[in-house]
Amino acid sequence: MKVVKQGDEREVPRGVVGGAEISQATAGATNIYMGRFRVPAGARSRPHFHAECESAVYMLSGHLRVRWGDSLQESVELEPGDLVYVPPRETHVLENLSPTEPSEYVVARDAPHEDSVEVPWAEDPAGPGA
């Protein structure tokens, strides 16, 4: 058994802020990853996908717009209590809709490590800095 306490936040490769996590690095996990993340007020992630794993997300607070697809053409808005399934290799972007409040969520994956690949070639219909 291993308990991981909420610790220092850090920016993760896809442009959101990470906190405590259960992973291979922190707990010796071999088949699971779970972490808590925050998208600052008015911020958005970079286009990315998770290469070799499925993800399940639980919204804790705030409101996010998720855009996905090869050209980020699909979108849905999330609120606290929503659950989301993200298949492997699904390009997506997270956007915090509030100019004043952060959004927080928990993600679980069937891989023991952070598995994020940035997609700089994804078209962003909102344009840079939107």
What is the C-alpha to C-alpha distance for residues 111 and 40, in angstroms, rounded to an integer?
26
Confidence (pLDDT) at 120: 75
Question: Model's pTM, two decimal places?
Answer: 0.85
Q: What domains can you pick out in the chain, each with its CATH number?
A: 10-101 (2.60.120.10)
What is the C-alpha to C-alpha distance for residues 75 and 55, in angstroms, rounded to an integer?
17
Confidence of residue 123 (pLDDT cuts 50, 70, 90): low
pLDDT tens-digit readout, 31-56: 999 999 999 999 998 899 988 899 99
